[in-house]
Structure 1
Amino acid sequence: MSNAIQYEYKKEYLTVSAPTKYNAESLRTEEMVLNMGPQHPSTHGVLRLEVVTDGEVVVDVVPHLGYLHRCFEKHAESLPFNQIIPYVDRLDYVAAMNSEHAYVMGVERMLGIENDIPKRVEYIRVLVAELNRLASHFVAIGTYAMDIGAYTPFLWMMRDREQILKLLEWVCGARMLYNYVWIGGLFYDLPVGFEERCAEFIKYLKPKLEELQHLVIDNKIFVERTINVGVLPLPVAINYGCTGPMLRASGLRYDLRKVDGYSVYPELDFDVPIGEGKLGTVGDSWDRTWVRVLECRESIRIIEQSLEKLTKEHKRTSDFDPQALVPKKIRPKAMDFYTRAENPKGELGFFFRTDGRSDIPVRCKARACSFNNLSVIGEMSKGALLADLVAIIGSIDVVMGEVDR
């Protein structure tokens, strides 16, 4: 390269004139776009986040969905109502019993048989649903602690969750995808000795929740990583349609088990915990975790009362048939119908449109609570540090099978 060419090259590409005076504009860093997921372990499945950062500060977060699309609605529109239940299991696969309960109650109301369901069936449904709620919250709390850097709580939570899964497997033969709650009844009655074994497990679990509080919730590092992080103000939560622990942690005492009073929940005594900002701001990541821990305690109260009802007032009898009211042909009247229930992550709803001639819904739409809860992540993350984004994602507790459907 000749000297003339080198001179032109340096002049064009290498010569940089230093600013004569520093100002805010000259020191401003440029924004950068990062991709978190869908393979990142803290994105809880196959969630992809497009993160706009200014240095270490999050400017915006855009979630990208569709990596786990299950085509639930279109499957439901090609199957009879009773054959849709296994597909419902695969939405929030961590809380399949709760999802089945919501779906089955809706179909029963369309058929007009919801008041004919035997009380023993209803209490068994509530029992298994609350056991599954415990298992779901154990996954949420355990994986959240691991996201922040604590591995032991995850192992302890999975140890106790395993006992719940064994109980549910004993009931219906499946570990996670149950197909146990049927339209008009149940697949089968509880196994002989189930009530006693479940009561023993609850007695074992109570002190474990106290250990969980000391190990995680009151832990100094956990507190510092979660207080005042990902604050979700109540008006924002309402505007985005957030439900479940996300909404209650922001201060609103709203639980469909109380508001709608479905199944036998009105006959049971339990409280609805809310976030109070004890250590930080109302609606922060610590509050969301704390509400889930309190809900575990309330689920234990519900399970104890259900077991008492099943062993004293609605005992097992030799002639009891949990499938006695299961309809042979499910053909609701022509209508548009929406049903909802309180899942561990929030309001799970199903919209049906029927024509009155077929046992297959004309339209079926699922209202997934994880979808709405995830949609607010951009509002919660603006101004947070990039390291805190992981703490914010985990506090939402999303299951991507339900988000993508």
Structure 2
Amino acid sequence: MNIQYTYHPDHLKNSEPSVYTAESLKKEEMLINLGPQHPSTHGVLRLEVITDGEMVKDVVPHPGYLHRCFEKHAESVPFNQVIPYVDRLDYVAAMNSEHAYAMGIERMLGISEKIPKRVEYIRVLVAELNRLASHFVAIGTYGMDIGAYTPFLWMMRDREHILRLLEWASGARMLYNYVWIGGLFYDLPVGFEERCVSFSKYLKPKLRDLEKLLISNKIFIDRTANVGTLPLDLAINYGVTGPMLRGSGLKFDLRRVDGYSVYPELDFEIPIGEGRVGEVGDCWDRNWVRFRECEESLKIIDQCLIQLTSDHKRTREFDPREMVPKKIRPKAQDFYIRAENPKGELGFFFRTDGRSDQALRCKARSCCFTNLSVLPEISRGYMLADLIAIVGSLDFVMGEVDR
């Protein structure tokens, strides 16, 4: 492990002198730097950990090693040229981010009701495929964080099927630029729906095998149950969203709450943490919610495929330029759009002046950033090995944290 051990008598002396004094640090406490390049921090994240032996007394996350500058890029190019930058926020779930951004511009233009139903079903189909791929990374790497290597290989194997499907549709493996303002880059390739049906049938028994191998594994339960418990009131106060919030017991999903796109027409459940093997809101519950969401995403995919092969068949090539002008100039306004990404609520705030085809101000509300902010609260009092399990249960991508 790439861990640096340093003694620092004056660490945090000014901020919390009653807790971290020079004398106590000399005698008992140790400052440990995990990262910023470390396999268990899931990206370039530095964790400044104060330990008393193996016990975590405090942890301070230090993001700020990527500097994507997304907001300034989005203010410097026209609205329709921002989508490739959106892909690079949460690059594990680029389709979902594109969907949120495109919906925001369409609502500002007042054309969201004119989007053809086939386009909407395709958007939801590719977004749910990408949700599966994102959760596969989360579950697979989480198992590897605490010593289970085989589930990671299984997840990467099945994720590869999804990436090949999305590459077939968009031409790109991970950064797609597929969901455009007013429509899509292109309709689905001929035969795409049939291959998706085959993939859905293939994956369902694989999820049952994964549950037996990892989710219900006694060693996995011992490492994650009653560890890193996030109480519901604390999650709400910190603005935590997504599987982390639902893992704490609140059935809050923007696909149901806001009912955007064609989600109100689809039948799916919202899994929540129930404390099956430990406390509600522990690491196991958060992982359990992600696993159950994989099953629900498959249900959504199956329903979209039925619609795309029956009521909303391929009729003609759809060109987004039919509704979207070359220069996109929304009226002067402040506007916020949000959507349910695999990791939580991704939001975009825009300020426009009605004259320019660029946003005066653009702000991305990152679910990964807010979810990471609660890490110190749920890590104190646990062992150093438990800290790795807690960090893995957050499922964040640093490209969206340090955007």
TM-score bracket for the superposition, by shorter chain length: over 0.9
Q: CA deviation at 1:320?
A: 4.3
Matched, 1:331 2:329: yes
* Equivalent residues, number: 380
> In structure 2, do the counterparts of structure 1 residues 171 and 326 end up closer, same or farther at CA, with 3 Å as the change threshold?
farther
**Helix, strand or coil at the partner of 2:32:** strand
User: Is the contact between residue 244 and residue 345 of structure 1 (CA under 8 Å) also seen in structure 2?
Assistant: yes
**Helix, strand or coil at the partner of 2:309:** helix
The residue type paired with residue 269 of structure 1 is: D
User: Is the contact between residue 47 and residue 400 of structure 1 (CA under 8 Å) also seen in structure 2?
Assistant: yes
CA displacement 1:238-295 (0-9 Å, x = unmatched): 0000000000000000000000000000000000000000000000000000000000
TM-score normalized with structure 1 length: 0.92
User: Is the contact between residue 182 and residue 326 of structure 1 (CA under 8 Å) also seen in structure 2?
Assistant: no
User: Is the contact between residue 277 and residue 283 of structure 1 (CA under 8 Å) also seen in structure 2?
Assistant: yes
Q: CA deviation at 1:325?
A: 2.7
CA displacement 1:384-404 (0-9 Å, x = unmatched): 000100000000001000000
User: Is the contact between residue 29 and residue 54 of structure 1 (CA under 8 Å) also seen in structure 2?
Assistant: no
Q: Equivalent residue for 1:221?
A: 219
Which of 196, 208, 220 pairs up with 2:206? 208
Q: Equivalent residue for 1:4?
A: none
**Helix, strand or coil at the partner of 1:366:** strand
Q: Equivalent residue for 2:256?
A: 258
User: Is the contact between residue 224 and residue 389 of structure 2 (CA under 8 Å) also seen in structure 1?
Assistant: yes
CA separation in 1, counterparts of 2:309 and 2:78? 35
Moved over 6 A (4+): none
CA separation in 2, counterparts of 1:142 and 1:185? 33
Q: Equivalent residue for 2:9?
A: none
Q: CA deviation at 1:228?
A: 0.3
CA displacement 1:111-155 (0-9 Å, x = unmatched): 000000000000000000000000000000000000000111000
> In structure 2, do the counterparts of structure 1 residues 189 and 132 end up closer, same or farther at CA, with 3 Å as the change threshold?
same
Q: Equivalent residue for 1:81?
A: 79
1:302-381 matched pairs, under 5 angstroms: 302-318=300-316, 320-321=318-319, 324-381=322-379
> In structure 2, do the counterparts of structure 1 residues 222 and 320 end up closer, same or farther at CA, with 3 Å as the change threshold?
same
CA separation in 1, counterparts of 2:318 and 2:368? 38
CA separation in 2, counterparts of 1:327 and 1:129? 25
Q: Equivalent residue for 2:291?
A: 293
Matched, 1:139 2:144: no
Q: Equivalent residue for 1:156?
A: 154
**Helix, strand or coil at the partner of 2:336:** strand
CA separation in 1, counterparts of 2:27 and 2:267? 56
User: Is the contact between residue 86 and residue 177 of structure 1 (CA under 8 Å) also seen in structure 2?
Assistant: yes
CA separation in 1, counterparts of 2:29 and 2:268? 49
Q: Equivalent residue for 1:9?
A: none
1:184-199 matched pairs, under 5 angstroms: 184-199=182-197
Which sections of structure 1, spanning at least 5 residues, go unmatched?
1-24
User: Is the contact between residue 111 and residue 332 of structure 1 (CA under 8 Å) also seen in structure 2?
Assistant: yes
Q: CA deviation at 1:72?
A: 0.3
Which sections of structure 2, spanning at least 5 residues, go unmatched?
1-22
**Helix, strand or coil at the partner of 1:313:** coil
Q: Equivalent residue for 2:393?
A: 395
Q: Equivalent residue for 1:181?
A: 179
Q: CA deviation at 1:226?
A: 0.2
The residue type paired with residue 85 of structure 2 is: Y
Q: CA deviation at 1:29?
A: 5.5
Q: Which has the larger radius of gyration?
A: 1
Q: What percent identity do the matched residue pairs reach?
A: 78
CA separation in 1, counterparts of 2:324 and 2:200? 31
The residue type paired with residue 360 of structure 1 is: Q
